[in-house]
Amino acid sequence: MTCQGCKNGAAFSSTFTMAFQPIMDTRRGEIFAHEALVRGADGSGAGSVLSLVDPDNRYAFDQQCRVRAIELAAHLFPRSNMPHLSINFMPNAVYEPRACIRQTLETARRTDFPLDRIIFEFTEVEKLDTAHLLNILRSYREIGFKTAIDDFGAGYSGLNLLTRFQPDLVKLDMDLIRGIDTDAVKQVVVRRTLDMLRDLGVTAVCEGVETAGELQVLTELGVDLIQGYYIARPTFEGLSPVSLALAA
């Protein structure tokens, strides 16, 4: 299979790399996953790289992100009790999912990285063709990848999408989590959202956790998977140590 994106997509010529931020399973006391986050080759933030992405080169950029994340993770991740690798992808850069996935599959094969340890997550930062997105998500699941919706609660069609496809993970938007220990309304919204996700068989991840108070409330609500600066900040081309108190 091939497609016009593979044939005509402009190359992304700027050099970039990845930082990794852990997602902690606080109940098990272990790292569930590391999210790969784009960084400039000099360690600069994601904005310095993303500002160079345009409709002509986003296919090449998306492909390079996958390859770089898997190559680095294969080098850094322990082989025993291997955590998951979470990779952000751009749905509008995927023309035909089974054609566009070939380079990812080849990289995983070359580095001996298990497909069932890879999570593809997307953020609804722009309106998407729902049928196209569902085709991507269903194809990825059939191949053996896990899928996730990022920033749930801040996108365009989160609830509508959930009625048609239930991903493995949903990451609640950090604006819902920030200050939840002192905001009764947020506690109600998050509690009801968690109940809904449990009923659908979807695992929740709460991101943007920055304080002990936020973590305590989320733990009381039954959340196991936590991501945020309170756990660990992203580490440039490395794996972040986590709090010993949380890992105990």
Give the catalytic positions in this structure: 207
- Cβ atoms within 10 Å, residue 44: 12
Are 149 and 122 in contact by the 8 Å Cβ rule? The answer is yes
Complete DSSP assignment for 180-205: GGG-HHHHHHHHHHHHHHHHHT-EEE
The packing angle between helices 58-76 and 102-111, to 10°, is 20
Element spanning 140, H or E? helix 130-143
**Residue 225's closest CA among 199, 202, 200, 196?**
202
DSSP H/E element including 172: strand 169-172
Measured CA to CA in angstroms, residue 117 lies from 60, 147, 149 at distances of: 23, 11, 17
Do residues 22 and 86 lie in contact, with contact meaning Cβ atoms separated by under 8 Å? no
- Which DSSP letter does residue 36 get? E
For residue 34, give the nearest of 144, 117, 124 by alpha carbon. 117
| CB-count exposure of residue 67 (10 Å: 0-12, 13-18, 19+) | middle
